Amino acid sequence: MMKNGKSIIAVLAMIALIVGLSGCPKEGPMERAGKKVDKAVEDIKK
């Protein structure tokens, strides 16, 4: 029984990892623009 529980947990962890990684699409133009704004703000703070 304990071995089955560990197997199920391992499978669920792998599924969660796969779903999490597949949910990260390539960086779009808005995200790149946001990073540029963030960098500009950091430069201004210095």
33-44 per-residue burial string, b: 16 or more CB within 10 A, e: under 16:
eeeeeeeeeeee
pLDDT tens digit sequence for 1-46: 567 778 888 888 888 888 776 766 777 888 889 999 999 988 888 7
- Residue 15 is predicted with a pLDDT of 86
- Residue 10 is predicted with a pLDDT of 86
For 2, phi and psi rounded to 5 degrees? Answer: -65, -35
